[in-house]
Structure 1
């Protein structure tokens, strides 16, 4: 992880957050981790990603170097905190959001709540709203046993984002439409072992990935054939290229004479 940027700390609304920020240029690229995933999970994208512009990664409350959350981490809370963190760091919009796994829910909601502050989105093996609940319904017996054992040794924090996932989905479903921005969905092409996912769950998951790509008329899907759930680890070049394409599309739009952007309001 020698190329991982130096960690720093910021305080937003009394909540201490660990983050990294490197590179220069707009639009800024904002990396949103999956549930429980620290910012170190992006290390294979560095230093190449720094060539694309300003890059911000951070640990949400209760993850990595950030202390436990002070309030329930619903989608609205997570998005508001991120918006305020970027303002605190002086990172001006618009942003290209890159959301991995559970972080895809937050990128999705951010784009809907602050559409004027979003220049593009990359969903990286991202969770779709319909995935929440469905995955539990179609859990295999082995998964239920493993999850039950994990809960015995590590009690969930009632304030963490997974404990509040249903409220996040409700907030997403009630939010405005996804904006018309460049959108790329990267889905892992490798099929997980049978004990991890049922055929029904895999089929629904594939349908949900396709639906994410159709959120924007400018959306498309890429299958990372050599990857499972972590293309940023197994095929970083594919992820870098996808981010670069979205950044280029966003820059071209910002230079268009007809392009206008109005300030977003704080919710």
Structure 2
């Protein structure tokens, strides 16, 4: 069944139990293999894929999930590292009976997780789409290219910690500058129930604690690539989608240019993860290509599935 009603995202979709104490929320639509697994960036839920999911599910089985501590998924252990996020995902796929092979789609920081998944469970992966994600060693490269970036990043994290403290004390209310900046305003394109759910989530200290931990884990995730990174996918199909409308953080002009140049070079490095990797500029899209140009992501996924090896079929049982 394909559901396009956005009210769906205002309530749990399919909560599966991954251990004695924790449940993860999935949105599982469509039929057919290989299954497409959508991995959003830090502090994302199934909603980030709303413009892609149901359309892809007309032809394929497609699953998205709320990251632990967000949406309708229970909180997970801290810190929220890449191995822990992938562990939750694989446990949820098993609990839901969604067996490999998988085509992994990683947007933003979700690209670190799809690569970790493929590095440690290569027999389960038959293709990948990376949606404006960063390359391995990204934080080290950015620090070298733009020395002012790290202090600015640390300042941003401190701002989030203050917002979390306000949420914890109940002070995150209308009239506070941080409320206007960090609590989402109602979106006229979304149903009222969904706007309320998004607002209420942003008023909880747990939401901000999870968000901060995921941001802090970016540096570690960026360094997870090993010497085998270039050969990560072998000859599996890979499409790298790069945003053409990126903006640098507020940095001195030369450093801002170096920051963007480092991101650009990283996109070529990502395409080299497979001998069949291709990179495409999405010139009229910002960072969230799955929102700005969903048809491009849908086309890339369909292309990877068409090229995925049919002979490399792992066990039809869910992941262990």
Q: CA deviation at 1:167?
A: 3.7
Look up the match of 1:95.
102
Which secondary structure does the structure 1 equivalent of 2:245 belong to?
A: coil
- Structure 1 stretch displaced more, 131-140 or 209-218: 131-140
84 and 45 in structure 1: CA distance in 2 versus 1, 3 angstrom threshold? same
CA contact (8 A) 1:185 1:213 kept: yes
Look up the match of 1:2.
5
Unaligned runs of 5+ in 1: none
Q: Deviations for 1:69-102, whole angstroms, at most 9, x for unmatched residues?
A: 2243322222222122111111111100000001
Which secondary structure does the structure 1 equivalent of 2:80 belong to?
A: coil
Q: CA deviation at 1:109?
A: 0.7
Q: CA deviation at 1:10?
A: 1.1
Which secondary structure does the structure 1 equivalent of 2:214 belong to?
A: coil
**In structure 2, what is the Cα distance between the partners aligned to 1:138 and 1:82?**
35
Count of residue pairs brought into register by the alignment: 261
Structure having the higher helix fraction is: 2
Look up the match of 2:241.
186
CA contact (8 A) 1:138 1:201 kept: no
RMSD: 2.9
Look up the match of 2:174.
none
| Structure with larger Rg | 2
Is 2:175 the counterpart of 1:139?
A: no
TM-score (norm 2): 0.72
Q: CA deviation at 1:16?
A: 1.7
**In structure 2, what is the Cα distance between the partners aligned to 1:117 and 1:104?**
17
2:45 aligned residue (34, 38, 42): 38
Q: CA deviation at 1:47?
A: 2.5
2:214 aligned residue (138, 142, 161): 161
132 and 154 in structure 1: CA distance in 2 versus 1, 3 angstrom threshold? farther
CA contact (8 A) 1:138 1:200 kept: no
Which secondary structure does the structure 2 equivalent of 1:57 belong to?
A: strand
- Structure 1 stretch displaced more, 126-135 or 96-105: 126-135
Q: How does 1:168-247 map to 2 (within 5 A)?
A: 168-173=221-226, 177-180=231-234, 181-192=236-247, 195=250, 198-247=256-305
**In structure 2, what is the Cα distance between the partners aligned to 1:175 and 1:7?**
38
Which secondary structure does the structure 1 equivalent of 2:216 belong to?
A: coil
Q: Deviations for 1:218-247, whole angstroms, at most 9, x for unmatched residues?
A: 100011111110011111111111111001
Is 2:162 the counterpart of 1:152?
A: yes
Is 2:134 the counterpart of 1:79?
A: no
Which secondary structure does the structure 1 equivalent of 2:27 belong to?
A: strand
Q: Deviations for 1:14-47, whole angstroms, at most 9, x for unmatched residues?
A: 3221110000000000000100122101111143
- Structure 1 stretch displaced more, 175-184 or 158-167: 158-167
Unaligned runs of 5+ in 2: 166-207
Instruction: State the 4+ residue runs in structure 1 displaced beyond 4 angstroms.
Output: 3-6, 133-138, 140-147, 174-177, 260-267
